[in-house]
Structure 1
């Protein structure tokens, strides 16, 4: 969603075709925004899959992750800020720790194809 620390800003839901960047808003809080727009917070539903790009070298080392990672947007249980991300290795961090300048995109969720039925249906007489 959008952390309470961003409630003073205009907000809108994320869209699958757009790219975002972690942005430090004038209040000092970090949230998602379209590149160059620190006036509108972009809100993401919890449990949404995201692709991160340009993760800092420091965080890569500390968390054991790569510069690009697929993550889950998560609601953190502890700390002042509740919006965070969960890496596939189980590590969770708030957007505040992630820092500004990380690229973010929603991962498209495609429906699984319906399996073809193999049996032959007899017409009803």
Structure 2
């Protein structure tokens, strides 16, 4: 997903192996992930997507719209799972990363220029595995 404030930015869904970079977008009040080499295209992650950063993750404790008032924080965690938080509040930032230690950081708070690789996309519950469909078809043929 891409946060509500990225709706005016060109976007595409993430793919396994994508190299992404944390970025601020010129048509938006927020930040997100851009494809490396495509700074004006937001890469949208679905909840459950796992990414691995190339370096320790640095993020702001500020409010996102102004330079960080309280400085930056660095976490040595380099693997995170994308999730959405605060969905009951429609006009707030929802895109977040959850780290293995339980720490949750809004994507818009990431320092610009952090690079990461998309490791794994979540399973799509709408799609049934081909094997399961084939087994059901075989069973219906013998009935």
TM-score range, shorter chain: 0.7 to 0.9
In structure 1, runs of 5+ residues without a counterpart are 110-125
Aligned positions of 1:45-64 closer than 5 A: 45-54=46-55, 55-56=57-58, 58-60=72-74
Whole-angstrom CA distance in 1 between matches of 2:115 and 2:41: 16
**Larger % of strand: which?**
2
* TM-score, normalising length: structure 1: 0.73
Gaps of 5+ in 2: 60-71, 122-143
Conserved 8 A contact 1:30-1:99: no
Q: Which has the larger radius of gyration?
A: 1
Deviates more, 1:22-31 or 1:86-95: 22-31
Q: 1:101 aligns with which of 113, 116, 137?
A: 113
**Structure 1 stretches (4+) deviating beyond 4 angstroms?**
none
2:10 is matched with 10
What is the match of residue 41 of structure 2?
Answer: 40
Check whether the contact 2:22–2:112 (CA below 8 A) recurs between aligned residues.
Answer: yes
CA distance in 2 between partners of 1:108 and 1:83 (Å): 17
| 2: CA distance, partners of 1:2 / 1:108 | 17
Question: Partners of 2:113 and 2:11 in 1: how far apart?
Answer: 19
Alpha-carbon distance between aligned partners in 1 of 2:119 and 2:73, rounded to the nearest angstrom: 22
How far apart are residue 36 of structure 1 and its match? 4.1
